[in-house]
Amino acid sequence: MTGKSTAIATNDYDVIIIGSGMGGLVTATQLAAKGAKVLVLEKYLIPGGSAGYFEREGYRFDVGASMIFGFGTEGTTNLLTRALDAVNVSLETIPDLVQIHYHLPNNLDLKVHKNYDKFIDKLTAKFPHEKVGIRRFYDECWQVFNCLNAMELLSLEEPRYLMRVFFQHPFACLGLVKYLPQNVGDIARRYISDPELLKFIDMECYCWSVVPADKTPMINAGMVFSDRHYGGINYPKGGVGTIAEKLVEGLEKFGGKIEYKSRVTNILMEKDRAIGVRLANGKEYRAKRIVSNATRWDTFEKLLPSSRMPKKEIKWQQRYEKSPSFLSLHLGVKSEVLPTGTECHHILLEKWEAMEDEQGTIFVSIPTLLDPSLAPKDHHIIHTFTPSYMKEWQGFSDQEYQHKKEEAASHLVERLEKVFPGLIEGLDYQEVGTPRTHRRFLGRDQGTYGPIPSRKLPGLLGMPFNRTVIPGLYCVGDSTFPGQGLNAVAFSGFACSHRIAVDLGL
């Protein structure tokens, strides 16, 4: 066993989960529902991680995610609905009929409506010469989605499930096998040649995958580009944080436990097998299986000795790099800043060349347009964020850091003012978060949003599943298949819990 402990807790658990992000909580609730004895250890004060919240002066701000997929009522890809159902909890959601209002270079102003035909018509009106290509490209995304949405989504590491699902849905399975190694860019170029439209497809990918179409797996795009018109985008009443709160309620109903302010510092090993964890306060817990909801970099470089990093992880780190983190601005504004008809989610970019740059693309979310209870009367929340690397924020004195934060915030607000005139006048509250904030509060190396391909890879083939080369240790969350996003990490949670349940004979 590694190191020394100051206190040993002897309680045995079936499964310990490090972290209560959405990936960790879905794994925990699924396993508790199957009868496993589960303990979740969360370093922060509340659950949710990147899908958490914080409150200031009457505003309830979402930390990160706010465009929520997975709350549909039909099919099999509505994984958040299913995760809540599994532990007998539910929450009210508010449909968002426009996924994104794009404000792009050359006056490309476009809304992605929930109604598929309406979206296709609006896009075609901007690029009439690409009418056929637009329809063919997005229809092909539906083919991917229809395959996924035909089957129960569980662990691809479980051979009996794979056999069962293949016999039940042979064509859907073959369809997925075909798309698994493909990226969006190659498929888009088969149908579309207008360079500006291809830039738009790049942005359609970048705004959730943080890489352009050439590096974005077709499986993920099939989900996003179709589910927004199928299950749609739905915002949880009370804010995104309620999803995690409800899952915890469900976990506890089924006998699971969660402990906050419990930072895991080490995964304990015995004969090369993961057998427990040690907390910062020295307390140790043991379990038959250990799951890390921390990123792979945090898991294999910090919770385990980096000197013994498995070869497989070294290879993975060569294929995938850390995406940038974000500069986030949480604003409270007077309601008159937003004219009637303003949409909840916006993407802003002034020059195509800047799409992937430090503080290039701007993301905006105004959840109070859907749920006014999140802000004081006659006020709105504007959460805006833009990709930013840790290196931009290091090596400063406290004073310099504060100054840089203020400067960056003003610049962001000035850019937003062009879309929301009167914003500066109407500001009521402002809080700035940097990559350092993301690292500190979310425990994510460099504050990263997650892994991105370091070069063009064959679709999703390189993303690891939940088992690791260390017996007894599993990973869940956005550094496992199929990647970032709440519904995606919920998928990872379903898969991880399924594999563990089979391993434990539950």
Ligand X SMILES: Cc1cc2nc3c(=O)[nH]c(=O)nc-3n(C[C@H](O)[C@H](O)[C@H](O)COP(=O)(O)OP(=O)(O)OC[C@H]3O[C@@H](n4cnc5c(N)ncnc54)[C@H](O)[C@@H]3O)c2cc1C
Contact footprint for ligand X (CB under 6 A): 18-24, 41-44, 49-51, 64-69, 263-264, 293-294, 298, 326, 328, 385, 442-444, 449-450, 477-478, 484-486, 489
- CB of 196 or CB of 249, closer to ligand X: 249
- CB of 191 or CB of 359, closer to ligand X: 359
Minimum Å distance from CB 13 to ligand X?
15
Minimum Å distance from CB 316 to ligand X?
16
Q: Which among 229, 203, 227, 230 is positioned nearest to 216, based on CA atoms?
A: 203
Structure tokens that stand for 261 in this block:
């302010």
Minimum Å distance from CB 375 to ligand X?
18
Three-class SS string for 235-252?
A: EECCCCHHHHHHHHHHHH
- CB of 164 or CB of 286, closer to ligand X: 286
DSSP 52-65: -EEEETTEEEESS-
Q: Is the dihedral of CA 2, 300, 48, 246 positive or negative?
A: negative
Minimum Å distance from CB 450 to ligand X?
6
**By the 8 A CB rule, do 113 and 98 touch?**
yes
Phi, psi of 109 (to 5 degrees): -110, 115
CA–CA separation, 40 and 43 (whole Å):
10
- CB of 130 or CB of 434, closer to ligand X: 434
- CB of 30 or CB of 50, closer to ligand X: 50
- CB of 51 or CB of 172, closer to ligand X: 51
- For tokens 């090993």, name the residue: 269
Minimum Å distance from CB 486 to ligand X?
4
Minimum Å distance from CB 395 to ligand X?
23
Phi, psi of 136 (to 5 degrees): -65, -40
Q: Which among 426, 47, 501, 418 is positioned nearest to 249, based on CA atoms?
A: 47
Minimum Å distance from CB 495 to ligand X?
13
**By the 8 A CB rule, do 142 and 227 touch?**
no
> Nearest residue by C-beta to ligand X?
21
- CB of 150 or CB of 489, closer to ligand X: 489
**By the 8 A CB rule, do 31 and 305 touch?**
no
